[in-house]
Amino acid sequence: MKATLEMHGKPTSKVEVTHIDKHGFWIFAEEKEYFLSFSEFPWFKSAKISEINNLLFLHGHHLHWPDLDIDLELDCIKNPAKYPLKDIMK
Protein backbone atom coordinates (compact mmCIF):
# COMPACT_ATOMS: atom_id res chain seq x y z
CA MET A 1 0.00 0.00 0.00
CA LYS A 2 1.42 3.36 -1.03
CA ALA A 3 1.11 6.27 1.40
CA THR A 4 0.15 9.66 0.00
CA LEU A 5 0.23 13.09 1.54
CA GLU A 6 -2.55 15.53 0.89
CA MET A 7 -2.32 19.26 1.42
CA HIS A 8 -5.21 20.79 3.30
CA GLY A 9 -5.95 24.48 2.96
CA LYS A 10 -3.93 27.08 1.09
CA PRO A 11 -0.23 27.77 1.55
CA THR A 12 0.60 30.67 3.85
CA SER A 13 1.91 33.75 2.07
CA LYS A 14 5.33 34.97 3.07
CA VAL A 15 6.36 38.56 3.63
CA GLU A 16 9.80 39.94 4.36
CA VAL A 17 11.68 43.20 4.53
CA THR A 18 14.24 43.10 1.72
CA HIS A 19 16.08 46.41 2.11
CA ILE A 20 16.17 49.47 4.38
CA ASP A 21 17.85 52.79 3.61
CA LYS A 22 17.58 56.42 4.73
CA HIS A 23 14.49 57.00 2.54
CA GLY A 24 12.41 53.99 3.58
CA PHE A 25 12.24 50.24 3.16
CA TRP A 26 11.09 47.57 0.74
CA ILE A 27 8.91 44.59 1.57
CA PHE A 28 8.33 41.50 -0.55
CA ALA A 29 4.76 40.17 -0.42
CA GLU A 30 2.55 38.27 -2.84
CA GLU A 31 5.47 37.81 -5.27
CA LYS A 32 5.98 41.61 -5.56
CA GLU A 33 8.20 44.19 -3.93
CA TYR A 34 6.73 47.37 -2.41
CA PHE A 35 8.46 50.51 -1.15
CA LEU A 36 7.35 52.29 2.03
CA SER A 37 8.94 55.72 2.22
CA PHE A 38 9.51 57.29 5.59
CA SER A 39 7.85 60.48 4.32
CA GLU A 40 4.61 58.59 3.51
CA PHE A 41 4.82 56.24 6.50
CA PRO A 42 6.45 58.41 9.19
CA TRP A 43 5.75 55.92 12.00
CA PHE A 44 8.75 53.88 10.85
CA LYS A 45 11.26 56.74 10.57
CA SER A 46 12.71 56.43 14.08
CA ALA A 47 12.23 52.65 14.36
CA LYS A 48 15.15 50.29 14.87
CA ILE A 49 16.06 47.98 12.00
CA SER A 50 15.12 44.97 14.13
CA GLU A 51 11.66 46.48 14.76
CA ILE A 52 11.03 47.01 11.04
CA ASN A 53 12.26 43.50 10.24
CA ASN A 54 9.87 41.95 12.77
CA LEU A 55 6.95 41.82 10.35
CA LEU A 56 4.00 39.42 10.24
CA PHE A 57 1.62 38.83 7.33
CA LEU A 58 -1.79 37.88 8.68
CA HIS A 59 -4.85 36.66 6.80
CA GLY A 60 -3.16 37.23 3.43
CA HIS A 61 -3.65 41.00 3.48
CA HIS A 62 -2.73 42.39 6.91
CA LEU A 63 0.81 43.59 7.74
CA HIS A 64 1.64 43.75 11.45
CA TRP A 65 4.77 45.07 13.18
CA PRO A 66 4.32 43.85 16.78
CA ASP A 67 7.33 45.72 18.20
CA LEU A 68 5.97 49.01 16.83
CA ASP A 69 2.24 48.33 17.27
CA ILE A 70 1.69 49.25 13.61
CA ASP A 71 -0.87 47.60 11.34
CA LEU A 72 -1.38 48.21 7.62
CA GLU A 73 -3.47 46.55 4.97
CA LEU A 74 -1.38 45.50 1.96
CA ASP A 75 -3.92 47.30 -0.24
CA CYS A 76 -2.89 50.58 1.45
CA ILE A 77 0.59 50.11 -0.01
CA LYS A 78 -0.66 48.84 -3.38
CA ASN A 79 -3.19 51.67 -3.82
CA PRO A 80 -2.11 54.63 -1.65
CA ALA A 81 -4.49 57.06 -3.40
CA LYS A 82 -7.41 55.16 -1.87
CA TYR A 83 -6.00 55.69 1.64
CA PRO A 84 -4.98 59.31 2.22
CA LEU A 85 -2.77 59.36 5.28
CA LYS A 86 -2.86 62.28 7.69
CA ASP A 87 0.25 63.34 9.55
CA ILE A 88 -0.53 62.29 13.11
CA MET A 89 3.10 62.63 14.20
CA LYS A 90 2.92 66.41 14.77
Domain range list for the chain: 15-82
pLDDT in tens, 27-47: 999 889 999 999 989 999 999
d(CA 7, CA 29): 22
pLDDT at 26: 97
d(CA 10, CA 8): 7
Residues 66, 73 contacting (CB under 8 angstroms): no
Residue 15: count of CB within 10 angstroms of its CB: 19
pLDDT at 78: 87
| Strand 32-37 with 56-58, pairing | unpaired
* Helix (H/G/I), strand (E/B), else coil: 27: strand
Confidence bin at 9 (pLDDT 50/70/90): very low
Q: Which fold, 15-82?
A: NE0471 N-terminal domain-like (3.30.2020)
In terms of Cβ atoms closer than 10 Å to its own Cβ (0-12, 13-18, 19+), residue 31 is exposed
